[in-house]
Amino acid sequence: MEPVAYDKHIKQVLIAQEEIAEAIRQAGRQISTWYDGRPILLVSILKGAFVFLADLCRAVTVPCEIGFMCAKSYYQGTESSGMVSITMDLEQDISQYHVVIVEDIIDTGRTLRDVVALLRERNPLSLRVVTLLDKPCRRKVEFEADMALFTISDHFVIGYGLDCAEQYRNLPYIAEYDTAVDAEN
């Protein structure tokens, strides 16, 4: 993808880098308060949540461990496939941890519903979900995060770990992806 075309897909910045950083500082304080002195496992849902997890774990001021899972529901497009598959699972036995799932965005809710059900079966000490972005207008199943840093409208978003066909994860802010550019080409 050539650089000019890359920039053309950024319709507008929805959440600035500074806003994200402040929200993460507050979330880190809240998680630290929830679990002070108790074993925490922050579980990142890859790939989208890795940037959020990196910043969030540094904002948590009490000891925590991290784990990774990969659950796919988006493939090459901008719409959810409606199918969720776990392509990489945790290595840890979570029965001795307070588990915090760290997600980039909750859209239809299907992915998180399935991941939460899977992890509950493993008997963690407790289980919470913290998401960077919540898009409740797109829910297909009942699901609510324990903490959502930002609630957004029905935009396809990129940046800060979120992608479109594996591009744009490196943007330091959240932007709306301009699908009209694709239609023009």
Identity of the amino acid at 131: T
Distance between CA 89 and CA 68 in Å, rounded? 7
Map tokens 């929805």 to a residue.
14
Of 71, 101, 114, 105, which Cα lies nearest the Cα of 89? Answer: 71
Length of the chain: 185
Which is catalytic among the residues 107, 114, 134, 163?
107
Catalytic, 107? Answer yes
Instruction: Please list the active-site residues.
Output: 107
